């Protein structure tokens, strides 16, 4: 009876989550490019039709894993960090991301090795990572929009890949090497963002001048059209 109550009390995992977890479990056991959709469906105890309803491809399931991790991190925010500086807030967010990813480390290592061999897939996954980093910055209260936003996001995505390469082989339960790598990357990123902001400020007057140069003919044309319309109107009234 106790066992039945325990099972009844558990919230069943959705087919999407079962597929994601099956994919990562299989990736920990074999090369990622050798995993088939049929294998994933069997491990997840879903039909191929269920898989098709959940994801259009194995790559989409991998992107679904990234969104699953995003949600765990975003749902687990720490309001006490609001008083910390932006680097400390982002450090905390990314460490929470690593904590959420920990059960899937070997599967992620396999994915990383596959991406090194498959440039086209790496480009697609890069966009997934960039989107995740957008929300990690938002969770840390850091602006990710504006003229330099895309560069900030891509820079963080590249830094994240370097951090993961350390994390894969960090056997310390306290993740000392990983935390040191994360701290180094964030300091480097902070300097990079500072340079971007400086360039953006210096380029401000030039942007204004460029807009004025290109908009001047439009304003002149508009004024000419207005004068001509006025002349035509007066001529009709004569």
pLDDT tens per residue across span 89-116:
999 999 999 999 999 999 999 999 999 9
Q: By percentage, how much of the chain surpasses pLDDT 70?
A: 76
Count of structural domains within the chain:
1
The answer to whether position 165 is within a domain reads yes
pLDDT tens per residue across span 196-222:
655 455 444 434 443 444 454 455 455
The answer to whether position 168 is within a domain reads yes
Going by the DSSP 8-state scheme, the letter that residue 146 receives in this structure is S
The torsion defined by the Cα of 167, 169, 175 and 180, in degrees rounded to 10, comes to -60
The single residue listed with the structure tokens 């895309």 is: 150
Parent domain of 191 = 2-201
- Per DSSP, the three-state class of 10 is coil
pLDDT at 238: 57
Given a cut of 70, is residue 135 above it in pLDDT?
A: yes
CATH for 57: 1.10.357.10
Largest Cα separation within the chain, whole Å, is 101
The answer to whether position 220 is within a domain reads no
Q: What is the pTM of this model?
A: 0.76
The answer to whether position 190 is within a domain reads yes
């Amino acid at each position: 009876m106790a066992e039945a109550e325990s099972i009844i009390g558990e919230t069943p995992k959705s087919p999407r989550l079962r597929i994601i977890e099956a994919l990562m479990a299989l990736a920990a056991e074999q090369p990622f490019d050798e995993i088939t959709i049929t294998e994933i469906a069997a491990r997840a105890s879903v039909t191929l039709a269920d898989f098709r309803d959940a994801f259009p491809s194995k790559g989409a399931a991998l992107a679904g894993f990234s969104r699953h991790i995003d949600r765990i991190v975003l749902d687990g925010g720490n309001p006490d960090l609001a008083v910390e500086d932006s680097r400390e807030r982002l450090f905390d967010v990314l460490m929470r991301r690593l904590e959420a990813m920990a059960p899937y480390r070997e599967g992620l290592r396999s994915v990383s090795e596959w991406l090194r061999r498959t440039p086209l897939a790496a480009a697609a996954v890069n966009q997934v990572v960039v989107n995740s980093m957008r929300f990690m910055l938002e969770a840390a209260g850091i602006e990710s929009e504006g003229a330099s936003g895309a560069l900030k996001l891509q820079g963080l995505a590249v830094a994240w890949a370097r951090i993961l390469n350390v994390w894969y082989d960090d056997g310390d339960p306290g993740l000392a090497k990983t935390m040191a790598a994360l701290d180094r990357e964030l300091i480097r990123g902070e300097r990079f963002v500072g340079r971007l902001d400086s360039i953006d400020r210096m380029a401000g007057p030039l942007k204004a001048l460029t807009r004025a140069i290109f908009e001047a003919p439009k304003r002149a044309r508009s004024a000419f059209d207005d004068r001509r319309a006025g002349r035509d109107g007066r001529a009709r009234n004569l």
